[in-house]
Amino acid sequence: GEDVEQSLFLSVREGDSSVINCTYTDSSSTYLYWYKQEPGAGLQLLTYIFSNMDMKQDQRLTVLLNKKDKHLSLRIADTQTGDSAIYFCAESEGGYQKVTFGTGTKLQVIP
């Protein structure tokens, strides 16, 4: 079955860049997502990338995809304390198909 793996924890200083990494196993993945979950809240889609792209930039967020290695990363430039949250990598084959989530990376931003 599909598997999505992430490191559990990342700590950065305010103003630095954060890079959160993810690997997945499903070669049929069409959409790769990054979701953010703040304490006590649901998941919020930050950005997504199609599998035929290798990079997507959206303001402070940069997503890099290495399809050959099935490796996805999320870079947050100028990390702020408000970025502290759990970040979930996820993949799906598209449409309303099942989305498989990673275990989440807890990002701690130190002022």
Binding site for another protein (CB under 8 A): 4, 8, 31, 35, 40-45, 48, 88, 92, 94-96, 98-104
In sequence order, which residues have a C-beta less than 8 Å from that of residue 62 and are 6 or more positions away? 55, 56, 74, 75, 77
Tell me whether residue 104 or residue 109 sits nearer to another protein (CB atom): 104
Name the minimum Å distance from CB 78 to another protein: 25
Pairing of strands 71-76, 61-66: antiparallel
- CB-based burial, 66-80: b 16+ in 10 Å, e otherwise: eeeebebbbbbeebe
H or E stretch at 96: none
Tell me whether residue 95 or residue 111 sits nearer to another protein (CB atom): 95
What whole-number distance in Å separates Cα of residue 12 and Cα of residue 84? 10
Name the minimum Å distance from CB 1 to another protein: 10
Tell me whether residue 64 or residue 99 sits nearer to another protein (CB atom): 99
Tell me whether residue 10 or residue 99 sits nearer to another protein (CB atom): 99
Name the minimum Å distance from CB 15 to another protein: 28
